[in-house]
Amino acid sequence: MSEDNKPIKIAFFDAQDYDIKAFEAANESYNYEIKFFETKLTADTVKLAKKCDAVCVFVNDMIDKDIIDALVKRKVKLIALRCAGYNNVDLAYANGKITVVRVPAYSPYAVAEHAMALLLTSIRRIHKAYIRTRDFNFNLNGLTGFDLHGKTVGVIGTGKIGRIFTDICKGFGMNVLAYDKFPAADSGLHYVSLDEIWEQADIISLRCPLTDETKHLINTPTIAKMKKGIVIINTSRGALINSKALLEGLKSRKIGAACLDVYEEEADVFYHDYSGHIIDDDILARLISFPNVIVTSHQAFLTREALGNIAATTLDNVRTVLSGEKCNNEVSYQG
């Protein structure tokens, strides 16, 4: 219940069927009044949050100064991110005006396993074989891959997901090099510099957050330092990679393959069906056309276990904040 003993009201934006099912199930323990909206939270749709205590948003809802002012004007007290990342929120401007919470961990196994699934699909040409055999074409030409055993993988970002991914890689007999600005204590990981990863890795997996420091971490100069045929996996945030540089790296054959669950300009494309439309994004259209590029639509989190954890944590974050308790999942501005 809110302070006036009325049911807590939540405006839920960018709602998909799987979101609604998970949150309705979790809400049986809370009895909040949740209004699900298919639209994203924008300057035009923020009016839907009127008389709500909180808004629940996802990775592609851009919470800028104007949105924050509009929410505060409508007396919304809380922005509840149902994801781990928060680069889409202007935290500096939100500071002191409205509380922001997130879901720091929902199922690190889901994302780590998806990253490995992308890698295996790519290097063993499983996606190509699937298409062929559906047409009863059982020819093996062009499907030659390579062993993961003995290869060197560079993992950039060693939070929970990154460490689980390194464990999976070790299970395949791979050599793991790790980089993190804040190395995990007692992890047993072999930490090296970024330059060492660029120069030594056969495969690079991005698991770091998107910040001003990490934006376009992979770019033309860093790609130039990598081995010819490098495989790049990104299941973190799209803007970690400069898309134009990635495209050029693929065209020049410097990059052997790209496995992408995220994309720099995904906000207006991912989570929607454009199968009957022409995509305006020329870079994305070109990337998808390459036989050595796999793109999934930011679905690494999409398991039953993860959705259940996201819903439960989000709703408990709402309860904690609106009851005046300290919430460990609050995102504070670090100036």
Active-site residues, by number, are 237, 266, 298
C-alpha span between 189 and 174 (Å, rounded): 13
User: Which residue has 């259940």 as its token pair?
Assistant: 308
User: Position of tokens 């069906």?
Assistant: 273
Structure tokens at 100: 């922001």
Q: 250: how many CB neighbours lie within 10 A of its CB?
A: 20
Q: 34 pairs with which residues across the strands?
A: 10
User: What DSSP state is assigned to residue 306?
Assistant: H
Distance CA 77, CA 55 (A): 9
237 burial via Cβ count (<10 Å: 0-12, 13-18, 19+): buried
Count the residues in the chain. 335
- What residues contact 288, with CB distance under 8 A and at least 6 apart? 295
Amino acid at 312: A
Return d(Cα 298, Cα 266) in angstroms, integer: 9
> Helix-strand-coil percent breakdown of the chain, rounded to 5?
35, 15, 50
Q: Which among 159, 155, 223, 226 has a CA at the least distance from the CA of 191?
A: 155
